[in-house]
Amino acid sequence: MTAEDAVSYVSGRTRMFGIIGDPIEQVRSPEMVTAEMKQRGQDALLVPLHVLPADFDDVLPRLMKLANLGGLVFTIPYKVRAATLAASYGAALGPQARIVGAINALGRGADGKWRADIFDGLGCVEAFRRKGHAFKGKRVMLLGAGGAGAAIGVAIAYEGPAAIRLFDVDAGRAAALVAKIRSVDAGIAAEAGAPTVDGVDYLINATPVGMLTDVRLPLPVESLPARLVVLDAIVKPERTPLLALAERCGCPTIGGREMMRGQIATMVDFFGYKRAGA
C-alpha cells in the first residue's frame, strides 16, 4: 500500500462542506460534522474556512458558486450577517431562521437551490429528546436571550411547552424574545422575569456564566429540586458549576457537548443525509 492509498477520506469525488468563522482554530464542526456524515455512509468532508470580517460579503457568494459544495456552517461572528447575505443571494430561510434573524447552516437542496436555517435551538430540543424528555406541556426556565438563547427559545416554542420564563441581564433583549416566542405560539405562557426553579420542569443555561474558569452559577440558588432536568449550553468546561450542582442534587443533566451532537445530527439531516437506519 502506498502512502496516497492510505488517505481514504478525501478524493476528487468527496462532497465538500465548510465552516466559516473568525477566528477558526477553535471550531469543532470539522471533526464532529465529518464524523456524523461518515457514520451515515457519506463521502463528505467539512473543512475550516477562515474568512475575515472585511471579506465576508465578498467571499460568501463566491463560495456558493463551488459546484461540489454541499453546504456551509456559520459561527461567530457571522450568524446574523450570513442570514441577510444568503437570503439576498436567493437562499430560502427556514421559519426559525426568519424569527431569530440568524442562520448557522446553508445547504444545497436536491433541486440545487440554497436553503438556510439555525440549528442551535434544534440541537437543544434534540439533546432533550435523546434523553427521553419532550417539551410538550412542560414549564421551562431559560437563562439568556442572546444569540444562542434566542435560537433555543424559538426552537422550544415550536415544541408546544406550557410556559417559558426568560431571564436576561438586558431586559429589552428578554422582552424581544418573549415577543418572538409568542409569535410562534400565542398559547405559550411566555414571560420575562427573575430566574427561578419554582414550578419549573426544565432549566436551560444559555448565558456565558460558568464558562472556562468562571465558577459562578447563572442563577442564585443553593440547591435544585431533583425532578428538574438541567441543560447547560456551555461546551468548555464539560462539567460547569451549574451541572455540578445539578448532579449533586440528583437532577438529570445534559451538557453542551450533547447539545452540540444534537445540533450536528439535525444539521446533517438538513444537509440531506439520512440517519443510519432511518
Q: Which residues bind a copy of itself (CB under 8 A)?
A: 2-14, 16, 19, 22, 24-32, 34-36, 38-39, 45-52, 55, 58-59, 62-63, 65-69
The sign of the dihedral angle between the CA atoms of 174, 208, 263, 18 is positive
From the CB of 88, what's the least distance to a copy of itself, in Å? 16
Between 32 and 181, whose beta carbon lies closer to a copy of itself? 32
**Helix and strand totals (H; E) in the chain:** 10, 12
Helices 120-130 & 256-270 angle (0-180, nearest 10):
110
Residue 250 identity (one-letter amino acid): G
From the CB of 90, what's the least distance to a copy of itself, in Å? 15
Q: Residue 128's closest CA among 234, 229, 267, 244?
A: 229
Residue with cell 444562542: 148
From the CB of 230, what's the least distance to a copy of itself, in Å? 22
Residue 51 CA to residue 57 CA, distance in Å, equals 10
From the CB of 6, what's the least distance to a copy of itself, in Å? 6
The sign of the dihedral angle between the CA atoms of 85, 74, 94, 80 is negative
From the CB of 196, what's the least distance to a copy of itself, in Å? 35
The continuous run of DSSP H or E covering 120 comes out as: helix 120-130
Between 36 and 168, whose beta carbon lies closer to a copy of itself? 36
Between 75 and 207, whose beta carbon lies closer to a copy of itself? 75
Q: Residue 7's closest CA among 48, 50, 49, 45?
A: 45
Q: Give, as one character, the DSSP assignment of residue 217.
A: -
Residue with cell 436553503: 115
Between 22 and 185, whose beta carbon lies closer to a copy of itself? 22
Q: Give, as one character, the DSSP assignment of residue 49.
A: E
Q: How far is CA 203 from the centre of its chain?
A: 17
From the CB of 199, what's the least distance to a copy of itself, in Å? 36
From the CB of 180, what's the least distance to a copy of itself, in Å? 31
Between 31 and 170, whose beta carbon lies closer to a copy of itself? 31
Between 67 and 110, whose beta carbon lies closer to a copy of itself? 67
Residue with cell 456551509: 72
Residue 62 CA to residue 18 CA, distance in Å, equals 13
Between 37 and 245, whose beta carbon lies closer to a copy of itself? 37
